[in-house]
Structure 1
Amino acid sequence: MKTTHNARVAILGTRARGGIRAVIENHIESGVYDGATYYELYTHEEGSVIQRVSLAARTLLRFLSLLLRRQLDICHIHGSMKGSIYRKSVFVFLCRLFRVQVIFHLHGSEFEDYYNRAGTVYRAVVRYVLDSSDYIFVLSRYWQDFLRTICTNHNILIVNNFPSTRFECLLSGRSYEGQQNLNFLFLGYLGQRKGIYDLVDAVASVRDQLPAGFCIHVGGNGEQEKVERYIAERGVGQHFDIHGWVSGEQKDHLLRQCNVLLLPSHNEGMPIAILEAFAAGLTVVSTRVGGIPDLITDDSVGLLIDAGDVDGLAKRIRQLLSAQDLIESTAANANRVYSEHFSATANVARIRTIYSELLAIA
């Protein structure tokens, strides 16, 4: 009988920078595929339409080659919404045709909103993908409950994301002694969905109450020029440092340097940025959307506001500026929650067990 030590797995995802790509990399780095033969296949990337179509076509041909040579047991599909569903439906169909087991791993933070606004064809494709999968992985109970209302598949499992283990090393040596100013951090796509404009408005509303050295470091891709213009228009340029997309050592440096992560999102799945902050020992201020309340269950773990509540966000910022004890205690509690439920140690074995179950019935 096959086990994960000799399984043959196709990992379908995106080459674009962001949370989905980070999850795939973390699965590989943390040992989910140790002993297995795995193929990283990309159906999407940043770039022109021609580049994206060319990549999808090349990936489809390679996937067909693997199927025709009977070299796949499991296909783990990381998907979201919009065009992702149409692309992934082709691979699901081929997997069913060649009797390959399918895991559909849903990441789309705006999946529900998009589904509810979509037409009949899109909804039918979504239901086909969901009902044709052997297992569906979701990031929280919120998404599990929603999918149960739109499909008949009973194998919908909550499988936690987890960040790279390297962020755990940033916790050691973190100290507040001698620190004159707290440093705040925003990590994520620069656009309305992640709440960056709400954050600028919140800072502008309390600018007269902020210390001279107050700074929010901003790391992310997206609407950078638009965000920079908006910051200038609101007159708070001295309080923001825009770094653009950050990764590797630069990202580690920011997580080590900063004390608080601010992520006032309007829609989310299970943001990897919050898990990275938990692992690195930061306090988190975020919103009651998607799977975030499953991460921050009460004020002892982090601070939540309603999405779009600019006044509430400003209040939390002012609260933390004079509450070092609160920052230290919530960061410690959040790190404990991370270790118990959202670390690689807590989740790799579970994913490998699910793979073994699929191989047993293949």
Structure 2
Amino acid sequence: MIRVLQIIDTLQAGGAERLAVNYANELRNHNVVSSLCATRLEGPLLSSLDNEVGYIFLNRKSTLDIGAVLKLRTYILKNEIDIIHAHATSFFIATLVKILIPRLMLVWHDHYGNSEFLHKRPTTVLKLCSLFFTHIFSVNNVLEHWAKKKLWCKNVSYVKNFPVLNKTEYDLTNLKGEGGKRILCLANLREQKNHIRLIEAFKIVIKDHSDWTLHFVGKDFNDHYSTSFFNKIDELNLEKQVFFYDTKSDILNILKQCTIGILVSKSEGLPLALLEYGLARLPVICTNVGNCGELISDKSLGILLNSDKDYEIAKALASFIEDETYRLNCAKNFNEKVSKYFSKEAILANVVKIYGKTI
């Protein structure tokens, strides 16, 4: 059996982090001995990790934390790991340990969310590290083409993200507002996610639909953008209709309480939240960034926005609010597409096949 270690910098509830945990948990069903390493910070996703999955936390304090590198090396040798599957920015420590253990195969998973702005991406260190990559997984076609053109690894594949929604029995979140009239945005408080524009659009919507509410779930980084977000809610007097819940682990429970799922990001890879909306049978509205157009490929699947202007977002929301039949049909069709083409079984079977070719 292949022994694979997923590496991720934190276990905070972001898309790349959730996917790393999903890989670690689900690969056990594909004849893989699975482990996971968090390098810098633990978080709420640790509770989602199956007990049968091996786990190590490095508590890495700096980029060149030699103690953390040696701790990781010891774990890999002790557990006879064959492949390290490094997600996002964890590629650097993965490269260091690959240099120390040359027999290791290193797969890098590129989750870069700003794929609309790749010209601004720092590449010097990544390009050097790519000399040690056996294979690169890219979460959308844009990143796949970029890696083939810019990096020094000849094996690059577009690998779809897949959603997993597990039922939890604890720390259950009760959303405010009226049932059947809740809009959900599942995204950490980062500028690229465009929360403030969504709030401005929602202010337009409630002129005619004052009984609807907007709910944000995601990590608050307590930075300038966070301050702007909460100031906008206050400025528009939306404290009783817009609610923020920070990081939550009971995502399935939250999705079940909502009526519409929305993302109006300025840039994306292939957002896991969008797939989770589909798996939970929510009708979706999303901006046409990253590979979102692959998911919402026609109007029967949801509403794909070519603009993030507030009135365009408001128009899309009003369409779903005012036409229940259209809303429910989109939810059904999108659920069927996600279940068929983004199933964990098919995607992981392909990943394990690639793993097998690397060793």
Structure-2 residue corresponding to 1:204: 203
Change (3 A) 1:140 1:54: closer
Q: Does 1:159 align with 2:159?
A: yes
Structure-2 residue corresponding to 1:247: 249
Change (3 A) 1:305 1:93: farther
Q: In the alignment, which of 74, 79, 83 is matched to residue 88 of structure 2?
A: 79
* Distance (whole Å) between structure 2 residues aligned to residue 352 and residue 86 of structure 1: 23
* Distance (whole Å) between structure 2 residues aligned to residue 298 and residue 128 of structure 1: 41
Structure-1 residue corresponding to 2:266: 266
* Shift, 1:145, TM fit: 1.8
Q: In the alignment, which of 50, 57, 61 is matched to residue 53 of structure 1?
A: 61
Structure-2 residue corresponding to 1:171: none
* Distance (whole Å) between structure 2 residues aligned to residue 138 and residue 233 of structure 1: 40
* Distance (whole Å) between structure 1 residues aligned to residue 308 and residue 60 of structure 2: 33
* Distance (whole Å) between structure 2 residues aligned to residue 77 and residue 301 of structure 1: 33
Change (3 A) 1:30 1:40: closer
* Distance (whole Å) between structure 2 residues aligned to residue 161 and residue 256 of structure 1: 21
* Distance (whole Å) between structure 2 residues aligned to residue 226 and residue 46 of structure 1: 27
Structure-1 residue corresponding to 2:47: none
Structure-2 residue corresponding to 1:230: 232
Superposed CA RMSD in Å reads 2.7
Deviation by residue 1:72-131 (Cα, 9 ceiling, x = unmatched) = 311111114xxx554444345445xx1211111011212663x5336xxx5232222334
Q: Is the 8 A contact 2:189 2:195 kept in 1?
A: yes
When the two structures are superposed, what TM-score results if normalisation uses the length of structure 1? 0.82
* Shift, 1:198, TM fit: 0.6
Q: Secondary structure of 1:64's match?
A: helix
Structure-2 residue corresponding to 1:174: none
Q: Name the count of aligned residue pairs.
A: 329
Structure-2 residue corresponding to 1:297: 297
Q: Secondary structure of 1:160's match?
A: coil
List structure 1 segments (4+ residues) > 3 angstroms apart after TM superposition. Answer: 31-39, 54-59, 66-70, 84-89, 91-95, 223-226
Q: Is the 8 A contact 1:140 1:294 kept in 2?
A: no
Q: Is the 8 A contact 1:14 1:20 kept in 2?
A: no
Change (3 A) 1:67 1:258: closer
- State how 1:122-161 maps to structure 2 within 5 Å: 122-161=122-161
Which residues of structure 1 form unaligned runs of 5+? 1-5, 168-178
When the two structures are superposed, what TM-score results if normalisation uses the length of structure 2? 0.82
Specify the code of the residue in structure 1 equivalent to 2:16.
I
* Distance (whole Å) between structure 1 residues aligned to residue 79 and residue 184 of structure 2: 47
* Shift, 1:26, TM fit: 1.1
Greater Cα offset, 280-289 or 305-314: 305-314
Structure-1 residue corresponding to 2:189: 190
- State how 1:14-29 maps to structure 2 within 5 Å: 14-17=9-12, 18-29=14-25
Which residues of structure 2 form unaligned runs of 5+? 44-58, 168-177
Q: Identify which of structures 1 and 2 has the higher relative contact order when contacts are C-alpha pairs closer than 8 Å and 6+ apart.
A: 1
Structure with more of its chain in helix, by fraction: 1
* Distance (whole Å) between structure 2 residues aligned to residue 33 and residue 103 of structure 1: 20
* Shift, 1:182, TM fit: 2.7
Specify the code of the residue in structure 2 equivalent to 1:61.
L
Change (3 A) 1:324 1:265: same
Q: Is the 8 A contact 1:9 1:76 kept in 2?
A: yes
